[in-house]
Amino acid sequence: MDANLIPNVSVDCVVFGFDLNTLNVLLVERQMEFEGKAYHDLKLPGDLVRWDEDIDHAASRILYDLSGLKNIYLKQYHSFGAVNRLRGEVRDLVWLRSIDHPEERVITVAYFSLLNLTDNTSNQYILQANARWIPVSSLPRLAFDHSDIVMKALENLRDDIKQKPLAFELLPSKFTLSQLQKLYEVVIGTSYDKRNFRKKINQVNYVVPINEKQTNVPHKPARLFMFSRDIYEKTRKDSFDFSV
Amino acid sequence: MDANLIPNVSVDCVVFGFDLNTLNVLLVERQMEFEGKAYHDLKLPGDLVRWDEDIDHAASRILYDLSGLKNIYLKQYHSFGAVNRLRGEVRDLVWLRSIDHPEERVITVAYFSLLNLTDNTSNQYILQANARWIPVSSLPRLAFDHSDIVMKALENLRDDIKQKPLAFELLPSKFTLSQLQKLYEVVIGTSYDKRNFRKKINQVNYVVPINEKQTNVPHKPARLFMFSRDIYEKTRKDSFDFSV
């Protein structure tokens, strides 16, 4: 090992998308020839950081190239820097060589991003042809250490959604309380009593009922709500919750 | 700019220490000649990541070299990768050249660490001669972007201490409720009503009163408490707190 070698730096993005029912993650199909046969599996969207770009900019660039979207929620949450993180499987090395990527050491800075998959406005993205939405609950084994990177993103999302208004990045701008409850249940991986959940939400002044109901639903249409960031910013407190 | 240049990677550590009164951060004095005169200011402890070490290991190594301590609380919380982050001031460049450090681009992975400065056991560290404990409330401007790195660590500590049992890393193993309250007030930067604070703590089953009182205090000795990690692990819930 040459002491003067410098680890490469990359950025990987875990894009979560919610469709009112399932939490999904956006993955990219990796195709190669392996052991004489066509082989494909899934990896996170990512790229090396360019010499002249900030790491936050690299993350925005990767998301834009993948989806055509700008200005979506994006949070850096962890960097992964184990020495052998790219060298878990022979197929990982084969693939790195096929795309002329440094196969030795790469430290990656990971970001997660939140997208609602129902709102008309944000529905108008165009995915790269090799991109796939895969439910978090049925993820296959991913390339490299990318399964670990997704799991850590999910942990961070779970922590954050308990104390920050992230839910509203994953919901359409107008939503029902059942949809809000479903989102919390899917992200946190639990279920809540409907009455208790509503009692809790009723005490939250930044989730505001509006004078509209659902349309085109087979059941009795439910009242719609909106999130008020103004009210949230003005009323947040430095409270803390020992019970978590 | 050469497209093949690779950013260096470093690790910086923000070590917080609490002495039952003040929250402090551990900084290293940087000495150099600048504009013909001796000049000194403060920076975070940090170092380049070695080719053959994991980034978590680099953080442990830096802390051990600084203090002789192992196995203290250490959390990676953010990476800083703006292109010009080392080039804010002329004196920063002068110093980098004096220690033969790459002066161009370095992406740094930041960790924060928690230390109680009162317990007999953890008091037995030996600091490097150029290390200083400085109160967070009176930090001078630090080298490079290190002021930003400390502020972001403080934000992370504030978020985390509201929902994880981090307070007990900063307190001696036996503590009074006044000491616990003081810690929350100092970290979060607010003050709590004593009665309400105690009411809240009384509902927390992992903060356990023990059959001991303070000794050698000028006032009426207060009851001591301990943190039970066992009880915490067994009773934590997936609750969430909309009110934060």
pLDDT along chain A (244 residues), means of 10: 72 96 94 87 94 95 90 95 87 83 86 86 68 94 95 95 91 95 94 93 92 91 95 75 43
Report CA-CA distances (Å) from A136 to A112, A140, A147, A154: 14, 9, 11, 9
B157 and B177 part of one domain: no
Give the pLDDT confidence score for residue B125 in this predicted structure: 67
With a CB cutoff of 8 Å and minimum separation 6, the contacts of A137 are: A22, A23
Residue B35, pLDDT > 90, answer: no
Mean pLDDT value across residues B71-78? 94
Mean pLDDT value across residues B100-121? 84
Cβ–Cβ below 8 Å for B163 and A161? no
Residue A244 inside a domain? The answer is no
A62 and A131 part of one domain: yes
Residue A133 inside a domain? The answer is yes
Residue B66 inside a domain? The answer is yes
A126 and A227 part of one domain: no
The percent of residues in chain B predicted with pLDDT above 70, rounded, is 91
Number of domains in chain A: 2
Contacts of A239 in chain B (CB under 8 A): 162, 241, 243-244
Domain final position from B129, B161, B193: B161
Mean pLDDT value across residues B165-194? 94
Contacts of A185 in chain B (CB under 8 A): none
B154 and B181 part of one domain: no
Mean pLDDT value across residues B214-221? 90
Cβ–Cβ below 8 Å for B238 and A83? no
- Type and span of the H or E element at A16: strand A8-18
Q: How confident is the model at residue B69 (pLDDT cuts 50, 70, 90)?
A: confident
Report the gap between the CA of A152 and the closest CA in chain B (Å). Answer: 12
Contacts of A107 in chain B (CB under 8 A): 9, 49, 55, 109
Residue A169 inside a domain? The answer is no
Residue B243 inside a domain? The answer is no
A118 and A199 part of one domain: no
Amino acid in the structure at residue B137: S
Question: Which among B62, B32, B174 is positioned nearest to B116, based on CA atoms?
Answer: B174
Instruction: Tell me, letter by letter, the H, E, C secondary structure of chain B.
Output: CCCCCCCEEEEEEEEEEECCCCEEEEEEEEEEEECCEEEEEEECCEEECCCCCCHHHHHHHHHHHHHCCCCCEEEEEEEECCCCCCCCCHHHHHHHHHCCCCCCCEEEEEEEEEEECCCCHHHCCCCCCCEEEEEHHHCCCCCCCHHHHHHHHHHHHHHHHCCCCCHHHHCCCCECHHHHHHHHHHHHCCCCCHHHHHHHHHCCCCEEEEEEECCCCCCCCCEEEEECHHHHHHHCCCCCCCCC
Residue A38 inside a domain? The answer is yes
Residue B179 inside a domain? The answer is yes
B157 and B212 part of one domain: no
> How far is Cα B134 from Cα B140, in angstroms, rounded to an integer?
9
Domain containing B204 — which CATH number? 1.10.10.10
Contacts of A109 in chain B (CB under 8 A): 79, 81, 107
Domain containing A31 — which CATH number? 3.90.79.10
Give the pLDDT confidence score for residue A93 in this predicted structure: 84
Contacts of B188 in chain A (CB under 8 A): 238, 240
Domain final position from A139, A163, A187: A163
How many CB atoms within 10 Å of residue A233? Answer: 10
Contact (Cβ atoms closer than 8 angstroms) between residue A111 and residue A12: yes
Give the pLDDT confidence score for residue B36 in this predicted structure: 87
**Residue among B74, B162, B168, B181 with most chain A CBs within 10 A, to mutate:** B162
Residue B124 inside a domain? The answer is yes
B34 and B72 part of one domain: yes
B128 and B199 part of one domain: no
Report the gap between the CA of B5 and the closest CA in chain A (Å). Answer: 6
Cβ–Cβ below 8 Å for B242 and A203? yes
B174 or B121, higher pLDDT = B174
A40 and A92 part of one domain: yes
Domain final position from A136, A163, A190: A163
Give the pLDDT confidence score for residue A68 in this predicted structure: 86
- pTM for the model stands at 0.89
Cβ–Cβ below 8 Å for A9 and B6? yes
Report the Cα A50 to chain-centroid distance in Å: 23
Q: Please give the residue range of the domain that contains residue A213.
A: 174-235
Residue B176, pLDDT > 70, answer: yes
